[in-house]
Amino acid sequence: MNAKPNIALLMICIVATACIARAQSVVAPGAEVVKLAGDFRFTEGPAADAQGNIFFTDIPNNRILKWSLDGTLSVFRENSRGANGLYFDKDGNLLACEGGGQRLVSLAPDGALRVLADKYEGQPFNSLNDLWIDPQGGVYFTDPRYGNRDNLPQDGEHAYYLMRDGKKIIRVVDDMVRPNGLIGTPDGKRLYITDNGGRKTFAYTIDADGTLSDKTLFCSEGSDGMTIDREGNVYLTTNVVAVYNPKGKKIEEITVPERPANVTFGGSDGQTLFITARTSLYRVAMRVSGAATPVRKPK
């Protein structure tokens, strides 16, 4: 038997496999991370509106800012009461977790504010952090406390669900050290929540009544903010943007000049990843687009 053709075939397979692996990067070919704006104190909570403009928070400066697709940076809200995580509902209202205000609020396009949740069982929340809106309009949110954790208003750091009627709040997670980022699948069947204090991220089944079940370890890595793309890959923020496939295997890392805090997809086609990282806002063009959100439907 002549071994040379077999060796040649093997080499071809290796090269082809390597090419396929490179082609499957979530980042667009040749794309680099680009800084869009800087000189902030701590950026967080990026969220895209229906047009793909990005809203984000500068927590210590008590501001919600808007980066428009034309490159214009503007202030959407002053005195944001320590707003952190942001997310748009189907009507174009911007929901915000007010860490300092200890409440979940809805901001209309004209800036008018409505309080959605400020207490659980008669007590204020600790310091609302991040949120995700399910397809029916219910809101999952986390309530950790960073900094001084003495005399917490609540009996621990937990995650909650504001029922889709907007009238009842239930506690859905009570066994984490410090829950932080969370994101769900567009079909409303699966929710990911990171226990940043426990350095782990978990996946849950979302039940019909909004409760969570079937808790499983997704990966042994904590995170700050999170997002998800249309292929089901989950993006965590650590020293890098770490990308995990739906089975919980890390498939890629995106390096950012500053330590990332949160991420979201935006842009006119939803195919740009925006990254809030300490004092700046960054973006990188992607091969994949973001998963559908209430305000951004698939094209």
In a domain, 10, yes or no: no
Q: Is 263 in contact with 46 (CB distance < 8 Å)?
A: yes
149 — pLDDT class (breaks 50, 70, 90)? confident
**Cβ distance 182 to 131 under 8 Å?**
yes
State residue 18's pLDDT score. 45
Half-sphere exposure of 139 (CA within 13 A, CB side): 29
> Residue 14: its pLDDT value, please?
45
Please report whether residue 57 resides in a domain.
yes
Q: Is the pLDDT of residue 90 over 70?
A: yes
Asked, for residue 294, whether it belongs to a domain, the answer is no
Question: Cβ(37)–Cβ(274) under 8 Å?
Answer: no
Span 212-265, pLDDT tens digits = 999 999 999 999 999 999 999 999 999 999 999 999 999 999 999 999 999 999
Structural domain for 274, as ranges = 45-285
State the Cα angle at 170 between 169 and 172, rounded to 5°. Answer: 140
pLDDT at 81 over 70: yes
Q: How many domains does the chain have?
A: 1
Count, residues in the chain:
299
Q: What is the CATH number of the domain that holds 248?
A: 2.120.10.30
Specify if 3 maps to a domain: no
Structure tokens at 101: 């205000």
Spatial separation of the C-alpha atoms in residues 261 and 259, rounded to whole Å: 7
Would residue 23 count as lying in a domain?
no
pLDDT higher than 50, residue 132: yes
Is 237 part of a structural domain of the chain? yes
What strands, in cross-sheet order, belong to the sheet with 63-67?
43-48, 54-58, 63-67, 73-78
Domain membership of residue 263 (yes or no) is yes
Going from the C-alpha of 237 to that of each of 52, 79, 250, the distances in angstroms are 21, 26, 13
Mean pLDDT of 119-146: 97
pLDDT digits (tens, 9 = 90+) for 155-205: 999 999 999 999 999 999 999 999 999 999 999 999 999 999 999 999 999
Backbone angles phi, psi at 117, to 5 degrees: -160, 130
C-alpha span between 65 and 162 (Å, rounded): 26
Residue 17 is assigned to a structural domain of this protein:
no
